[in-house]
Amino acid sequence: KTVATIGLGYIGLPTAAILANNGLKVVGVDVNQNTVDAVNRGEVPFVEPDLAEFVEKAVKDGNLSASTETPKADAYIVAVPTPFNDDKTADLGYIEAAIRGIAPQLEGNELIILESTSPPKTTQHMADYLAEQRPDLDMDSMLIAHCPERVLPGRIMIELATNDRIVGGLTPAGAEAAKKLYSAFCTGEILLTDDVTAEMAKLVENSYRDVNIAFANELSVISDKLGINVWELIELANHHPRVNILQPGPGVGGHCIAVDPWFIVSALPEESQLIKQARMVNDAKPAWVIEQVEKALEESKSAKVAVLGLAFKANIDDLRESPSIAIAQKLATDLPETEFLIVEPHVEELPKQLSAFKNVEFADMNDAVKNADIVLLLVDHEKFAEIDKAALADKTVIDTRGFWDEKKNA
């Protein structure tokens, strides 16, 4: 059996590599010539633990190659981006382009799996689009399914093999065929359903988390107005056997949780009031943090602010869609007289969004804390536990994660 994976990004390449390591002949397709060349040399164009070994071995064994052209294959896996437009609707352009590449190669009876996170009914749209491209093709013979990925970057090679998978077939035969392909490497349970339920399963997993984080973020704003400690409030409420409130923070980052709920909202705006409101609550949190800093600076604009953490969550180096970066950028723009000492132990230098500011400097953790008048903690990196608490005693501390809160850590 031969497989073509369309898209050699964070999901497509690991999937291609794991299939090839399990005896299938795989061609990875990408529009980026550099990516294609790198894979053909047995190299990986981005960092992900264990992936390099998988790719190197598969290429050496002759089971994996890459191309900018879509080849003939028995099965196609579409793993391309689905970004959203400014009006929060999904951009299906990359999926359609993938189908335009696949269409001329088809003879009937092939399997096509959509892996990209997509709004409800995208799998059906993909099939309809294919039928338009190939009016001569017997669509009833085609096996089409949606199989969303749920792997965590940093653990992709492990989670690809061990996570349970949801497979939604446009037809039961499509679901069965996709299950068979995934069982080449997936030791988790493979759960069959229809296409729209599978699309929604991925979206609601991330929306569930977003709504629950929004609840915690809203509580932090309410608690501030009431003059009570939100960390203590949540800690106490969570003693109830059926209550488990998440933790407030400076906002929600990353490329999934802050994006996926919009795919539901844009498909069903009237019906998705809660999901939409949660998104807005989380998106409003950075502005609230900025207000706290501005209040603290009212006395002296020439104060120094240590900003601890830029990553979108704890103990990673991923700065994409990070609320911390947005906060630092806005502060540096609005407060040109204030000096910002940026600390991010997981990266080597200031990211480009901050490097042009004259009032922003990349700093060592302990120096920044020592020299600052205000300490703003944005990410709960373990590394920050090494900061001597005595050094904070005479500073204004704005702790958006409750990192140093005694009630939270009681």
Q: Which residues are catalytic?
A: 202, 256
Question: Is residue 11 near ligand SAJ by the rule CB under 6 A?
Answer: no
Minimum distance, C-beta of residue 395 to ligand SAJ, in the bound complex (Å): 23
Which residues does residue 193 pair with via DSSP β-bridges, in sequence order? 168
User: Which of residues 150 and 346 has its CB atom nearest to ligand SAJ in the complex?
Assistant: 150
Q: What type of residue sits at position 52? A: A
From residue 212, give the alpha-carbon distance in Å to each of 216, 257, 265. 7, 11, 17
Question: Is residue 253 near ligand SAJ by the rule CB under 6 A?
Answer: yes
Contacts of ligand SAJ in 113-132 (CB under 6 A): none
The span of 89-97, 201-209, 233-241, 354-362 binding ligand SAJ (CB under 6 A) equals 201-209
DSSP 346-405: TSSS--HHHHT-TTEEE--HHHHHHH-SEEEE----GGGGGS-GGGGTTSEEEETT-TT-
Reduced to 3 states (helix: H, G, I; strand: E, B; else coil), residue 407 is coil
Minimum distance, C-beta of residue 314 to ligand SAJ, in the bound complex (Å): 7
Distance CA 136, CA 379 (A): 55
Question: Is residue 346 near ligand SAJ by the rule CB under 6 A?
Answer: no
Question: Is residue 237 near ligand SAJ by the rule CB under 6 A?
Answer: no
Question: Is residue 155 near ligand SAJ by the rule CB under 6 A?
Answer: no
The span of 27-35, 51-59, 125-133, 146-154 binding ligand SAJ (CB under 6 A) equals 146-154
Furthest C-alpha separation in the chain: 76
Reduced to 3 states (helix: H, G, I; strand: E, B; else coil), residue 141 is helix
The span of 168-176, 249-257, 344-352, 360-368 binding ligand SAJ (CB under 6 A) equals 249-257
**Exposed e or buried b per residue across 50-74, where buried means at least 16 C-beta atoms within 10 angstroms of its C-beta:** ebeebbbebbeeebbbbeeebeebb
User: Which of residues 239 and 358 has its CB atom nearest to ligand SAJ in the complex?
Assistant: 239
CA 294 to chain centre: 30
Question: Is residue 332 near ligand SAJ by the rule CB under 6 A?
Answer: no
User: Which of residues 54 and 231 has its CB atom nearest to ligand SAJ in the complex?
Assistant: 231
Question: Is residue 262 near ligand SAJ by the rule CB under 6 A?
Answer: no
From the list 246, 284, 347, 392, which residue makes contact with ligand SAJ (rule: CB under 6 A)? 246
Select from 253, 251, 245, 257 the least CA-distant residue to 219.
245
Question: Is residue 7 near ligand SAJ by the rule CB under 6 A?
Answer: no
Q: What type of residue sits at position 151? A: V
User: Which of residues 169 and 261 has its CB atom nearest to ligand SAJ in the complex?
Assistant: 261
Question: Is residue 247 near ligand SAJ by the rule CB under 6 A?
Answer: yes
User: Which of residues 47 and 152 has its CB atom nearest to ligand SAJ in the complex?
Assistant: 152
Question: Is residue 230 near ligand SAJ by the rule CB under 6 A?
Answer: no
What dihedral do alpha carbons 206, 209, 215, 221 form, nearest 10°? -90
Q: 398 phi and psi, to 5 degrees?
A: -115, 105
The span of 33-41, 139-147, 253-261, 382-390 binding ligand SAJ (CB under 6 A) equals 253-261
The span of 46-54, 242-250, 264-272, 351-359 binding ligand SAJ (CB under 6 A) equals 242-250
From residue 17, give the alpha-carbon distance in Å to each of 9, 44, 57, 64, 169. 12, 10, 9, 7, 24
Q: Which residues bind ligand SAJ (CB under 6 A)?
A: 150-152, 205-206, 209, 213, 246-247, 249, 252-254, 256-257, 312-313
